[in-house]
Amino acid sequence: MIIADEYKGLKGTAAKVLGATIQRCRVHFMRNALACVGKKDRPIVTAALRTAFDQDTLADSKEHWAKLIEAFQPRHLKLAELMLRAEDDVLAYKSFPQAHWRQIHSTNPLERLIKEIKRRTNVVGIFPNEPAIRRLVGALMLEQNDEWALTRRYMTLETVATICEDNTMDPAKIAAL
């Protein structure tokens, strides 16, 4: 699975080359959706979309999503069209085990890591050479990995193992695509 914002070229490439599913970041989708409606309608649209995300199964979410599209169509055509286009990408995380949903529905964890890297590199200002940058960023990423693996238990190895497939791709095959 690749979690990203809406990148049209990435979706086809990820499916063709990596055989991966694209999960459109739910947070970014919500921002895009709210931009389609007026300020006074945003709270109700937010609440309505969250009800689709709160469903227990992918089938229930898709059913609820379809009802929301139908409800929004008369007054918010632009929002209904966005929802129709984004449905499979925004709800892709629901095809994975429910234990992972909270971690894989948005790009926020990655964005927090990038923000921390920027904060720490800005403190240094000017690096003496490229290896110094690699050491700092590498140390930050190792620190984050340890935090996710041990402290917060972002995803347990046992639950990840249940969804992993060992489909090692031959580099020559990838180049031929």
- C-alpha to C-alpha distance for 98 and 88, rounded to whole angstroms: 17
Q: pTM score > 0.75 for this model?
A: no
> pLDDT tens digits for 70-125?
999 999 999 999 999 999 889 988 988 887 788 778 777 778 888 888 988 888 88
**What is the structure's pLDDT at 66?**
95
Other CB atoms within a 10 A radius of the CB of residue 58 amount to: 14
Token digits of residue 99: 């234990």
4-36 pLDDT per residue, tens: 777 677 777 777 777 777 888 898 899 999 999
CA distances from 173 to 9, 10, 16, 121, 165 (A): 20, 19, 11, 38, 18
Angle between helices 42-53 and 58-72 (to 10 degrees): 160
Beta strand pairing call for 22-24 and 2-4: parallel
Each residue of 115-151: pLDDT tens digit?
888 988 888 888 889 899 899 889 888 888 777 777 6
Q: Is 28 exposed, middle or buried (0-12, 13-18, 19+ CB in 10 A)?
A: middle
Residue 70 half-sphere exposure toward CB, CA atoms < 13 A: 6
